[in-house]
């Protein structure tokens, strides 16, 4: 399982990354065209639909070099600063061997065993159980784990999670996922910008539409269809284009094959030779990986994404059950079923009064203790070498 389709998967990731980057420019041009439509309506609200469409096309051609430069600039910014942006969202902080010797040594041993360059290590303070890898080249690769994961998993399970993230780096999944985050971010940002501008225009400049429609009320119905009505149609087209671009940017995650998680699980087993550790790690992480405040784009980078899509159609990760069953079937692991964390176990309260009708358990006694067994209290028997001797052949009754 670990090697099946691996090289094809890596080559496919590189090809799809290039396609998605090209698609980013196309979506950006769509947004620019929609903005040009809105601008033409603002300039002249009494033109025809054909006029608006032609004028917006001319505006797009004029803005084409600037739009291309803006999209390229966004990619450059994301290339160099995407890790800082993700750290700002998640609160991840780089740690050294002195700060996290346990975590650092586990990752270093895995890297040395396979000759993999050591990525940066980051820890985010969160009770959630999750981890993710980021970076677009060897100098940028980083693995971030939550403090909750460090506290809840043992060394073998943490090693399995680190092996999972290292496999994402080796397979080229990280580049693919970061590109998807970039696309969703740029389209979402400019889409929201246009919507805010349109809303403000409707609030402050809506009177121009109403006045134009009022002034044209004395004209014929045919004139209204060819003038004021055209502005409304164009605004609807612009809104539809913006919504379509946003939807396409969100559907980019469908290009993230869910098989990448199965391959990463298998790669972890290949690195650690311990399928049971990967299985138990997944069972502990199951339904405990939600990162408060993290965007959906960041959650798609994680080892487990509890945010499922509609009817699991848009889910970016296979279910934990499916991943565990694959490891059991192909790697020979054993499934313990859902696991409870030690912190979730019920701890008895020693201060609670005993239930009615029940005798409290005897207090353990030692050689220097004066404690008496409640059952022997009525006989005056005491315990220990310096107490009264118990009945026997040399004792006194």
Helices (H), 91-172: 101-114, 147-152, 155-171
Q: From CA 314, how far away is CA 323, in angstroms rounded?
A: 17
Q: From CA 160, how far away is CA 275, in angstroms rounded?
A: 8
**Token pair in block for residue 69:** 């430069």
DSSP 354: P
Q: Is 146 helix (H, G, I), strand (E, B) or coil?
A: strand
Which phi and psi (to 5°) does residue 142 adopt? -150, 145
Q: From CA 20, how far away is CA 182, in angstroms rounded?
A: 10
**CB neighbour list of residue 312: distance below 8 Å, 6 or more residues apart:** 319
Beta pairing partners, 133 = 143
Q: Which residues are catalytic?
A: 165
Q: From CA 146, how far away is CA 285, in angstroms rounded?
A: 11
Sheet holding 120-124, edge to edge: 93-94, 120-124, 142-146, 131-134
Q: From CA 198, how far away is CA 202, in angstroms rounded?
A: 6
What's the distance, Cα to Cα, between the start and end of the chain in Å? 77
**Three-state SS letters, 211-226:** HHHHHHHHCCHHHHHH
Among 269, 263, 302, which residue's Cα sits nearest to residue 130?
302
Spatial contact of 231 and 275, defined as CB atoms under 8 Å apart:
no
C-alpha dihedral sign at 122, 125, 129, 134: negative
Q: From CA 15, how far away is CA 37, in angstroms rounded?
A: 34
Beta pairing partners, 93 = 123
**Token pair in block for residue 111:** 């890297």
Q: Using DSSP bridges, classify how beta strands 142-146 and 120-124 pair: parallel, antiparallel or unpaired.
A: parallel
């Amino acid at each position: 399982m670990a090697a099946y389709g691996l090289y094809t998967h890596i080559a496919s990731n590189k090809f799809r990354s290039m396609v998605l980057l090209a698609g980013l420019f196309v979506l950006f041009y769509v947004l620019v065209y929609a903005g040009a439509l809105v601008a033409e309506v603002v300039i002249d609200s009494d033109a025809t639909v054909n006029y608006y469409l032609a004028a917006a096309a001319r505006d797009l051609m004029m803005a084409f070099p600037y739009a291309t430069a803006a999209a390229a600039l966004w990619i450059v910014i994301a290339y160099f600063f995407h890790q800082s942006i993700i750290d700002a969202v998640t609160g991840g902080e780089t740690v050294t061997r002195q700060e996290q010797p346990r975590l650092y040594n586990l990752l270093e041993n895995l890297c040395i065993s396979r000759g993999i360059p050591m990525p940066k290590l980051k820890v985010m303070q969160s009770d959630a159980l999750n981890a993710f890898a980021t970076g677009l080249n060897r100098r940028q690769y980083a693995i971030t784990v939550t403090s909750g994961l460090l506290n809840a998993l043992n060394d073998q399970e943490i090693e399995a999670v680190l092996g999972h993230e290292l496999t994402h780096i080796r397979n080229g999944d990280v580049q693919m996922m970061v590109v998807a985050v970039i696309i969703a971010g740029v389209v979402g940002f400019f889409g929201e910008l246009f919507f805010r501008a349109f809303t403000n225009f409707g609030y402050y400049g809506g009177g121009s539409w109403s006045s134009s429609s009022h002034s044209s009320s004395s004209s014929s119905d045919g004139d209204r269809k060819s003038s004021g009505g055209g502005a409304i149609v164009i605004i609807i087209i612009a809104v539809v284009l913006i919504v379509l671009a946003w939807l396409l940017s969100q559907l980019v995650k469908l290009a993230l094959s869910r098989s990448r998680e199965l391959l990463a699980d298998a790669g972890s087993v290949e690195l650690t030779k311990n399928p049971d550790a990967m299985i138990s790690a997944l069972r502990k992480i199951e339904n405990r990986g939600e990162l408060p405040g993290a965007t959906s784009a960041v959650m798609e980078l994680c080892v487990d994404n509890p945010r499922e899509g509609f009817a699991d159609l848009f889910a970016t990760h296979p279910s934990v059950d499916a991943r565990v069953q694959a490891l059991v079937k192909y790697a020979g692991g054993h499934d313990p079923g859902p696991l409870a964390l030690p912190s979730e176990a019920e701890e008895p309260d020693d201060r609670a009064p005993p239930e009615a009708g029940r005798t409290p358990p005897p207090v353990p006694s030692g050689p220097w203790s004066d404690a008496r067994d409640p059952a022997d209290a009525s006989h005056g028997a005491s315990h220990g070498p310096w107490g009264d001797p118990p009945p026997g052949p040399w004792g006194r009754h």
